[in-house]
Amino acid sequence: MSGWLDLEEAQKRLLALAPRMGSGQVAVDAALGRVLSADVKARRTQPPADLSAMDGYAAAGNGPWQLIGESRCGAPFTGTLTPGQTVRISTGAHMPEGADRVLLQEDATRQGERIAANEAPVPDRHIRRRGFDFQKGDTLLTAGTVMGPAHIALALSGGHAKVPVVRLPKVAVLDSGDELAADPANCAPDQIPASNGAMIAAMVAPLVGEPMRIGPVADEMDALASALEQARDCDILITSGGASVGDHDLVQDALRQCGAAIDFWKVAIKPGKPLMVATRTLGERRQLIIGLPGNPVSSFVTAFLFALPAIRKSLGLAPELPTPQTRIAGEPFAAGGPRREFVRGISDGTSVVSANSQDSSALASLARANCLIERAPYAAKTAQGELLTVYNLQNGGFAPL
């Protein structure tokens, strides 16, 4: 396979070309899914004072106690307790000065302003001490953290209205081909509905939001040149179709005419051999271009193995590449051919079987699959019960089943 790159070399070269994004500030409550570009340190102490963890009575010393007031959330008791005194207290309310224990409401007997304990409270129990969660200056979140719901709450609790995040790369998705119909409900007999662009856009959207959509574009140099011009402000351009070298595969020529440099094409994988990676310089920026094959399964597999890792690298996310896992073969697998193969599989989390059709145009089996089974070049026959390497598919991400 002279001139073909193996998977690892191709991924390495691609990731070296991935653009690195700058950073900016976003409101914390709008930061879901964003990647922190710097550490976030606490601007305040949490909790800011000793708090009661239960409803009951904050007391000083041993009982019985004289009830002299109340401490509730937002309205703390302002005096100081002396031994034998207590105040009514709510969960989360400030412990008064001098109080050293909390008598639980269900363990208390009240007669007028006199409070007695059915069960003596243990000093310091049910008290949340000042700063036990974090203190001012503590590092709350580190650079590279993907902001989830709990991270949002933590940043807000730490006194932040905004957080520093990695700028989202601008991504364009372009699909091309004379045979593609933009309207799936109005498709001529010699056409097929354009589906790759929507599929790839859905794969990248969890990482970058809604990408720019271009196409379907006809197999004509002028049309392709115009489409490439539309994408000039993007950091990453993902094309589908036309990246090979057939008579009507014009993407490479169009890219060269607009000043792009082809870094490599043809990777020793199945499906997805005609993968192309290029760059073009636009002012002070360098745009990364990933040319995916036109067959939908090939397009999906190469987007999973190349486009998503490139975006993750741009965002500073780790791991950049999908994480391999092992599953038990639920059926025999035949010996492999000369290319690294990625078989659509269906796994129950323990074992895995292949989806029925492995043709690179078969979308029904792709939709049923929840993993890709990796088969090494010239892999030996795998018996049922042996281990296989798989990559889980979940909304274009790398999360385990």
- For 222-262, the pLDDT digits (tens) are 999 999 999 999 999 999 986 655 555 688 889 999 999 99
User: What's the average model confidence in pLDDT over 300-322?
Assistant: 95
- For 389-398, the pLDDT digits (tens) are 999 996 444 4
Strand ranges, E, within 179-333 = 180-181, 192-193, 212-217, 236-240, 261-265, 269-270, 276-282, 285-292, 325-329
pLDDT tier at 365, thresholds 50, 70, 90:
confident
According to the model, what pLDDT value does residue 399 have?
Answer: 43
Is 121 in contact with 101 (CB distance < 8 Å)? yes
Residue 45 pLDDT greater than 90, yes or no: yes
The domains of the chain, with CATH numbers, are 7-21+168-315 (3.40.980.10), 25-42+139-166 (3.90.105.10), 51-128 (2.170.190.11), 325-392 (2.40.340.10)
The fraction of the chain above a pLDDT of 70, given in percent, is: 94
In the block, tokens 């034998």 appear at: 84
- Give the CA distances from residue 397 to residues 195, 215, 296, in Å, rounded to whole numbers and listed in that order: 19, 25, 18
In the block, tokens 């690892």 appear at: 8
- Strand 180-181 and strand 65-71: the pairing is unpaired
Report the chain's terminal Cα–Cα distance, integer Å: 35
The secondary structure of residue 254, as a DSSP letter, is H
Q: Nearest CA to 100 among 110, 89, 109?
A: 89
Burial category of 304 from C-beta neighbours within 10 Å (exposed 0-12, middle 13-18, buried 19 and up): buried
pTM: 0.85
For 185, the 3-state DSSP assignment is: coil
28 is written with which tokens?
């914390």
- For 126-185, the pLDDT digits (tens) are 999 999 999 999 999 999 999 999 999 999 999 999 999 999 999 999 999 888 888 888
According to the model, what pLDDT value does residue 360 have?
Answer: 63
pLDDT tier at 362, thresholds 50, 70, 90:
confident
